[in-house]
Structure 1
């Protein structure tokens, strides 16, 4: 059977998680030449309500564009964790923002925590790049695409004036996750 990897990015509308999903799909498909699809869903109150972006990456064409057995899930808010951590497969992973998800749902998967929004605000100085920090962390956690592919896709998506800011954010997310994994 061909390899298929399903990821879900979830949080509040306006946090840039749809963009993070699109960037990941582009890293896999455009840069690495693999098959990828991205889909999204918003709560009825687009800004502030729970939203999700799903990315499926595979070695062969993808016949169904929605995640059914999630390998890795990101939850930036408690509401998103409660609503979207369902469906994580046994042995999968859940990454939560430690400042906003105080009670991560438990299951037969591993839960990791990072202060994603705080890292954006304190270490980078701009909360707007929290989605890029989260993307870097998810790529470090899953190895679903190469580090360089993720960075290249991020830099292809942002205006010239914000390339250094986003490169720093991506590297911070990636490196902080690798530190957590190293124990």
Structure 2
């Protein structure tokens, strides 16, 4: 079972991230999923989150208890929800909007400039889809195809293609980051090459006594 929290501030599309993920796993990945949400008292602009539980079996309790994945798209949300992340969890964050503090040793951290990527596409409103793609590539808890199939009906029809492009931008970035991480791990695991042994000095043949 996987417990995931998407977090940011109201207006970033955080709730939509949870809805898309829940729909993807339930309808297109042949798994079970639940989604819940929470807002701060000010709603728009305050810290908010959506929580998703994914399981191969029926979900008996729909709420997260100790999320193993935290996706943060704002500083306030990161500071509010990071303490609840599992000690061996995964933190995924927007490098444009979140400044990390010292983290627990076992937490894996992956950053993506999702806001900048969205602005390069023409509008920062697509940052949540960039982040959703990055989350999909890094976490591997839901397939990219299922996520894209879940978009119709949850994003405006006229922006569907742009949302797919934003998702793919983040997904590709995540896959590339994992590939680099794997290469680095292989380099560290490879034993250092032994220096070549010095050549033995050749002893000149002795002259026979007359």
TM-score bracket for the superposition, by shorter chain length: over 0.9
Partner of 2:147: 150
Write the deviation string for residues 141-165 of structure 1: whole angstroms up to 9, x where unpaired.
1111111111111234233321210
TM-score by length of 1: 0.93
Partner of 1:119: 117
From the two aligned structures, give the one with the greater strand fraction: 1
1:34 counterpart (14, 20, 31): 31
Write the deviation string for residues 120-146 of structure 1: whole angstroms up to 9, x where unpaired.
111x11111111111111111111111
Is 1:87 aligned to residue 84 of structure 2?
A: yes
Q: What value does the CA root-mean-square deviation take over the aligned residues?
A: 1.3
Partner of 1:44: 41
Structure 1 gap ranges (5+): none
Partner of 1:173: 170
Q: How does 1:132-151 map to 2 (within 5 A)?
A: 132-151=129-148
TM-score by length of 2: 0.81
Structure 2 gap ranges (5+): 181-210
Q: How many residues of Structure 1 are paired with residues of Structure 2 in the alignment?
A: 179
Choose 1 or 2 for highest CA Rg: 2
1:22 counterpart (19, 23, 28): 19
In 1, distance between residues paired with 2:91 and 2:97? 14
Query: Structure 1 stretches (4+) deviating beyond 6 angstroms?
Result: none
State the structure with bigger RCO (CA 8 A, min sep 6), 1 or 2.
Answer: 1
In 1, distance between residues paired with 2:156 and 2:45? 25
